[in-house]
């Protein structure tokens, strides 16, 4: 039995501008712009500018890691309820809430770096973390439900490339401000003021987003909207979703996907000079931008069956990350105590220690693209995608909170969290294989979607059919 979903919309009366403005491509560009001025400038959860500086760009990583831990803990509290929140508030206004708080993080690092006021750094990161959770769930829901199945990888690549472009611009700013400092320490505090200026523009891009019901794909089809549920029903369906096989299978891969942000940022802060860290914030996005676009196209290709593509593309990020971890382990043993490797003064040792870091960061983006693409093959309906995307980002932010929490103490150092990161990688291998096995054999078709068994949700003594497995 098949359930009808939104079909093509007549083009009559729609101008080319209106079609482009409501199109998926424009929405992806706006989400990319939000990441460009938000996460890419100041949120270490997305391999961000401050993370690429190592330790938020401060002289030591410990305080910045505590701040990031609190930020991701706040994001977890929001994203774990992301499905109900998105289904009630909507994607556009969820992104607006996040955009309004974006300047807090850059300004908090500025105040800490210039005036040594740490309470504002912690406060700003907590608030930004809570509001940032709305963006994480909003964009992940859109990534899973907006694109046509045949173009999901392409749009994911565009979004990821725009996010990396923000890091590229921020890296250029960093490098121009800090290229003369060949020792350890903190970056120039004026760097953060430029970040704040960009972060203030986020509300503009959020307001330019179209409401989900008005978004139209390139073939004229609309996004499938969820049925209206009460808060009680939303929480009930979310609870049942947590017991789904695909959610259980994606837990560790999601938890792992950006865990390296804390461990690798600490590694960079402890062993590289300020200008080497600034150069890193420029190199990572340069290598990432072209690679994510190519990787997205590879995911969309018809060169193999859907599952075979998933297996092969997964190996493409697993191998460089595994090799990078082994390499960095040997570098930790060789480098010993804190050092300040500089690309000009210690070119050979710097390259040997930095290349594996670059491998892990670039392949880390492929990890997220793979997970989004795999999860997007389970359903095109917004309500289901909101729950799946919310839980995905909840597990991811929980991993980041743990990563930065482990890396927030000088007594623990950087090696123990790194070993935990390696252990997680080993556990992820069977989980991602299980998740791929659960994928549909063929891509979903816009216009019809398989009907799953329904569950009963009881409210006010009345039985109501609620689709609890189409997540």
Q: Give residue-wise pLDDT tens across range 220-253.
A: 888 877 777 778 888 888 888 888 899 999 999 9
Strand partners, 381: 224
Is 301 within the bounds of a domain? yes
Is 451 within the bounds of a domain? no
Round to whole Å and give the CA distance between 80 and 428. 21
pLDDT confidence of residue 210: 92
Q: Which domain does 82 fall in, by range?
A: 16-214+241-442
Is 114 within the bounds of a domain? yes
CATH number at 429 reads: 1.20.1250.20
Strand partners, 224: 381
pLDDT confidence of residue 469: 42
Number of folded domains that form the chain? 1
pLDDT tens, position by position, 155-203: 888 888 887 776 677 667 666 665 555 444 445 566 677 778 888 999 9
Is 274 within the bounds of a domain? yes
Res. 264 pLDDT band, cuts 50 70 90: confident
Question: Could you tell me the CA-to-CA distances from 156 to 24, 208, 298 in Å, in that order?
Answer: 11, 19, 12
pLDDT tens, position by position, 50-73: 444 444 444 455 666 777 788 888
Is 461 within the bounds of a domain? no
Is 2 within the bounds of a domain? no
Residue 419 has pLDDT above 80, yes or no: yes
Is 396 within the bounds of a domain? yes
- One-character DSSP codes across 163-222: HHHHHHHHHHHHHHHHTT--SSSPPPTHHHHHHHHHHTTHHHHHHHSPPGGG-B-TTSBB
Is 56 within the bounds of a domain? yes
Round to whole Å and give the CA distance between 390 and 82. 4
Query: Looking at residues 17-40, what average pLDDT do you find?
Result: 86
339 C-beta neighbours (distance < 10 Å), count? 16
Query: Looking at residues 207-211, what average pLDDT do you find?
Result: 93
Round to whole Å and give the CA distance between 331 and 333. 5
Query: Looking at residues 423-440, what average pLDDT do you find?
Result: 93
More confident residue, 308 or 454: 308
pLDDT confidence of residue 174: 62
- Phi, psi of 469, rounded to the nearest 5 degrees: -110, -10
Res. 7 pLDDT band, cuts 50 70 90: very low
């Amino acid at each position: 039995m098949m359930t009808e979903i939104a079909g093509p919309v007549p083009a009559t009366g729609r101008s080319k501008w209106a079609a482009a403005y409501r199109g998926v491509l424009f929405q992806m560009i706006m989400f990319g712009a939000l990441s460009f001025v938000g996460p890419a400038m100041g949120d270490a959860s997305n391999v961000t500018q401050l993370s690429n500086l190592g330790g938020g760009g401060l002289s030591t990583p410990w305080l910045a890691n505590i701040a990031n831990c609190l930020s991701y803990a706040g994001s977890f509290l929001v994203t774990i309820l992301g499905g109900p929140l998105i289904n009630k508030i909507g994607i556009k206004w969820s992104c607006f809430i996040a955009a309004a708080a974006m300047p807090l993080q850059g300004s908090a690092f500025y105040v800490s770096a210039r005036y040594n006021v740490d309470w504002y750094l912690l406060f700003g990161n907590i608030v930004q973390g809570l509001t940032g959770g709305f963006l994480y769930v909003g964009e992940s829901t859109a990534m899973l439900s907006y694109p046509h199945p045949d173009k999901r990888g392409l749009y994911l690549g565009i979004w990821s490339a725009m996010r990396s472009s923000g890091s590229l611009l921020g890296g250029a700013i960093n490098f121009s401000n800090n290229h003369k400092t060949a020792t350890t320490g903190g970056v120039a505090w004026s760097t953060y003021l430029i970040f704040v200026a960009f972060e203030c523009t986020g509300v503009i891009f959020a307001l330019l987003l179209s409401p989900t019901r008005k978004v139209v794909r390139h073939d004229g089809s609309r996004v499938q909207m969820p049925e209206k549920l009460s808060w009680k029903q939303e929480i009930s369906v979310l609870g049942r979703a947590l017991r789904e096989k695909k959610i259980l299978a994606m837990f560790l891969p999601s938890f792992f996907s950006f865990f390296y942000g804390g461990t690798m940022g600490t590694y960079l802060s402890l062993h590289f000079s300020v200008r080497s860290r600034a150069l890193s914030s420029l190199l990572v996005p340069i290598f990432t931008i072209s690679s994510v676009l190519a990787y997205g196209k590879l995911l969309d290709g018809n060169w193999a069956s859907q599952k075979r593509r998933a297996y092969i593309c997964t190996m493409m990020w697993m191998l460089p990350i595994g090799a990078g971890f082994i390499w960095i382990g040997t570098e930790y043993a060789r480098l010993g105590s804190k050092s300040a490797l500089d690309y000009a003064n210690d070119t050979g040792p710097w390259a040997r220690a930095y290349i594996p870091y670059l491998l892990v960061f670039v392949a880390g983006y492929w990890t997220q693209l793979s997970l989004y693409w795999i999860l997007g093959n389970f359903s095109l309906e917004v309500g289901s995608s909101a729950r799946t995307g919310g839980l995905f980002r909840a597990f991811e932010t929980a991993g980041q909170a743990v990563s930065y929490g482990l890396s927030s103490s000088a007594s623990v150092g950087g090696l123990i969290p790194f070993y935990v990161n390696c252990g997680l990688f080993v556990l992820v291998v069977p989980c991602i294989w299980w998740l791929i096995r659960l994928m549909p054999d063929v891509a979903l078709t816009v216009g019809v979607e398989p009907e799953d068994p329904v569950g009963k949700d009881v409210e006010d003594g009345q039985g109501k059919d609620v689709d609890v497995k189409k997540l």
